[in-house]
Amino acid sequence: MENSMNLFNTMVFNDQVMKERLPKDIYDSLHRTMQERKHLDLDVANVVASAMKNWAVEKGVTHFTHWFQPMTGVTAEKHEAFINPTINGGTLNNFTGDELIKGEPDASSFPTGGIRATFEARGYTAWDPTSYAFIKGNVLCIPTAFCSYSGEALDKKTPLLRSMQAIAKQAERILKLFGEENPSGVTTTVGPEQEYFLIDKSMLDKRPDLVYCGRTLFGSRPPKGQEMEDHYFGAIKPKVAAFMEDLDKELWQLGVLSKTRHNEVSPAQHELAPIFSTTNIAADHNQLTMEMMQVVAARHGLVCLLHEKPFAGVNGSGKHNNWSLSTEDGRNLLDTGKTPAEHSRFLLFMTAVIKAVDEHQDLLRLSIASAGNDHRLGANEAPPAIVSIFLGDELTEMLNSIKNKTIYKHKEETQMEIGVDALPHFSKDITDRNRTSPFAFTGNKFEFRMPGSSLSISGPNIILNTIVADALCQFADVLEKADDFNSALDDLIRDAIEKHQRIIFNGNNYSAEWVVEAERRGLLNLPSTVEALPLFASDENIALFERLGVFSESEVRSRTELLLESYSKIIHIEALAMLDMVQRDIVPAVLTYSKKVADTIAAKKSLDIELECTLEEYLLIRLSKLSSCMYGDIEALENSVLAGKEYENVIEHAKYNRSDVFLHMQSLRSTVDELETLVGSEYWPYPSYGEILYSVK
């Protein structure tokens, strides 16, 4: 593979390219727009558009698109050619500032949650100059926000940018209180680890459930799954390594800082981790990463599965969202620092996060809610649906000493003792890691482990930014009025620790005891999406979003409705796919095999041999009983799906799908999975779990 230094950013209209191709005054104006988030003059936009077009055309580009992120969970694009006619019958390549700044997709054709009626089609895409344009194939992609004709956000980028603006404003208020007259801009940074499965393309072609739903709706456990724990960090198979190498090449060209790759716990499961970026760019890059994974996999005869739980009984896939706060001059505000002032600042930001997470458990939980993630949370592979914070022993002891007004004795660094003289000595970290925690402090960042693998990271980061901004705002309101800053600061930190200590838990989040303990502490336990999502539109949450300018009331209500509708649609599609697979393929297979067994019994009896009940007869009895159960399950699921059409209220419909339709789906699956273990493999219509999970050689 080419040297990564030569590949990186070659398909990105980044700062270096702009410096080279734009006049200095135009570059300075654009840079101010990006740094200070000011409006861009059309004259400047025209020059930028021309330079961007020339750069792209030199690389073989023929079209441009406003690349945006509607509320579908994926990206959208409409390609426009640069080519334009001239009066003498010729053509020329042209791209104007107007075309760069604004596009007009059909707003009524994307999910809006009721904001737009079908006949109200006009919507706008608006260039986001804080995220660099890039080339994908022969298309120049311009990252944009997407809004309705009346100004409501119809995408994931717009509220994310609003939330980043909100937390920057409040964090800068705090920094001024610590003596910084003109604090450099504060931004949140994210490094989203992405888990995924790779299977052979031939397996997908034989599994309608994977095609329609992204997960298997049937499948009995293979003889060997992840029990031996040999896949995790194991040697990477050549075909997978070739995919990873190709993927890195594609991502590096697009400026995505793909850094780490390895095998994950389950067979056929892998992970990619990038270096941190500002949250907006990280969200764009993660969407690109998921898209490129699927594109590159196809080149290698593979399929990349991003569903949270593509296979029952083995680990599902998450997306660990590593979140932090930094200044433009490179200071991490969640770093303990080396001076008393830095240490106090760290404690204030730390307690703001603790306060935010405790007060807004509902928002963090619902930010990662989906039909797919419901299969994963709490399944001994991901945190439970109870939100808590892991701080580690030392930081917890430090906060306790502040609360109790006792002197904390800092632990000295210790050398790691392994018992082999030849091995190098290194310092031991001050605390262990807790992989069971949903929200763990890992040194100078928080790792939010609850998001599912297919989720856009915009959602959870909008919530994180907003709730921490709210806590910082409350802190700033108190401290700005204080006569004695240091005394008020001490009281504020101590009070926050005392009030919100219940959210801190350093133990095993997978244990049954923690569920009981969490209830005793008064923490929320929202096991499923339908219990979590309606809380989005509570009066308190609407007031919070409006106060900080992140969502309007209509935007909150529309997104609540949209997410609940999406949940019901997913369950409906999965139920129909199950019925289709069973009735068209599985029932005929079971009947054919049963007839084969019955014919064998008849053939033996025709020999007039006196035998007690034979193996075949035992088998036929079991097949017959399970077939009858399957018929009952089919009928119950069909009736359940039909009855669901009567619901008009989105909340009640979602609850019905969870409590009734999903229950019948589970019952049908249980019966069919048992039948799979009895029916001869040459009769069963679909590849088994073992064949799929070990399909990549």
CATH number at residue 60: 3.10.20.70
The β-bridge partners of 106 are 122
Q: Encoding tokens for residue 314?
A: 């083995």
The kind and range of the H/E element at 616 are helix 615-644
Q: Encoding tokens for residue 458?
A: 């915009």
Which positions ≥6 away from 607 have C-beta within 8 Å? none
Q: Encoding tokens for residue 54?
A: 């020339």
What is the rounded distance in angstroms from the CA atom of residue 487 to the CA atom of residue 533? Answer: 41
- Model confidence at 419, pLDDT cuts 50, 70, 90, reads low
DSSP conformation class of 412: P
Each residue's pLDDT tens digit, 91-145: 678 899 999 999 887 767 777 776 766 556 678 899 998 899 999 999 999 999 9
Residues 281 and 393 in one domain: no
What is the rounded distance in angstroms from the CA atom of residue 475 to the CA atom of residue 353? Answer: 11
Residues 204 and 176 in one domain: no
What is the rounded distance in angstroms from the CA atom of residue 254 to the CA atom of residue 246? Answer: 13
Residues 617 and 678 in one domain: yes
Residue 524 burial (10 A CB sphere; 0-12, 13-18, 19+): middle
**Which of 317, 351, 372 represents a domain boundary (last residue)?**
317
- Is residue 382 scored above 90 in pLDDT? no
Q: Enter the pTM of the model.
A: 0.94
In a domain, 562, yes or no: no
Strand order in the sheet with 321-327: 277-278, 186-192, 321-327, 446-448, 439-441, 389-390
**Average pLDDT of span 343-348:** 91
Nearest CA among 166, 123, 163, 167 for reference residue 145: 123
Q: Dmax over Cα atoms in the chain, in whole Å? A: 105
**pLDDT over 90, % of the chain:** 72
Instruction: Name the E strands within 68-181.
Output: 79-81, 83-85, 91-93, 102-103, 123-127, 134-136, 139-148
Give, in order, the Cα–Cα distances in Å from 117 to each of 109, 122, 148, 155, 558.
10, 10, 11, 17, 12
**Average pLDDT of span 648-653:** 95
Q: Encoding tokens for residue 126?
A: 């608006």
| The pLDDT value given to residue 626 | 97
What is the rounded distance in angstroms from the CA atom of residue 690 to the CA atom of residue 222? Answer: 5
- Is residue 64 scored above 80 in pLDDT? yes
**145 lies in which domain range?**
4-154
Give yes or no for a contact between 685 and 679, defined as CB atoms under 8 angstroms apart: no
CA dihedral in degrees (47, 53, 54, 56; nearest 10)? 140
**Which of 317, 335, 352 represents a domain boundary (last residue)?**
317
Can you give the C-alpha Rg of the chain in angstroms? 28
**Average pLDDT of span 39-68:** 93
Per the listing, tokens 């007869």 go with 617
Choice between 542 and 153, residue whose per-residue pLDDT is larger: 542
In a domain, 557, yes or no: no
- Is residue 337 scored above 90 in pLDDT? no
| The pLDDT value given to residue 565 | 95
| The pLDDT value given to residue 265 | 86
In a domain, 555, yes or no: no
3-state secondary structure of 461: helix
**Average pLDDT of span 419-426:** 55
**Which of 270, 290, 317 represents a domain boundary (last residue)?**
317
In a domain, 560, yes or no: no
Per the listing, tokens 């018929």 go with 631
Q: Structurally, how many domains does the chain consist of?
A: 4
Residues 590 and 457 in one domain: no
Residue 507 burial (10 A CB sphere; 0-12, 13-18, 19+): middle
Residues 201 and 266 in one domain: yes
Choice between 220 and 426, residue whose per-residue pLDDT is larger: 220
The kind and range of the H/E element at 477 are helix 458-480
Q: What is the CATH number of the domain that holds 658?
A: 1.20.120.1560
The β-bridge partners of 305 are 197
Give yes or no for a contact between 395 and 431, defined as CB atoms under 8 angstroms apart: yes
Residues 10 and 148 in one domain: yes
What is the rounded distance in angstroms from the CA atom of residue 326 to the CA atom of residue 322? Answer: 13
**Average pLDDT of span 566-577:** 97
Per the listing, tokens 């959602």 go with 459
**Average pLDDT of span 158-183:** 94
Each residue's pLDDT tens digit, 212-231: 999 999 999 988 877 767 78
Residues 87 and 102 in one domain: yes
Residues 644 and 611 in one domain: yes
Q: What is the CATH number of the domain that holds 240?
A: 3.30.590.10
| The pLDDT value given to residue 224 | 83
What is the rounded distance in angstroms from the CA atom of residue 543 to the CA atom of residue 31? Answer: 34
What is the rounded distance in angstroms from the CA atom of residue 619 to the CA atom of residue 624? Answer: 8
In a domain, 187, yes or no: yes
Residues 401 and 311 in one domain: no
Residues 212 and 249 in one domain: yes
Residues 45 and 171 in one domain: no
In a domain, 571, yes or no: yes
Which positions ≥6 away from 328 have C-beta within 8 Å? 35, 184, 185, 186, 187
In a domain, 60, yes or no: yes
Residues 92 and 172 in one domain: no
User: How many residues make up the chain in this entry?
Assistant: 697
Which phi and psi angles does 11 have, rounded to 5°?
Answer: -110, 25
- Is residue 395 scored above 90 in pLDDT? no
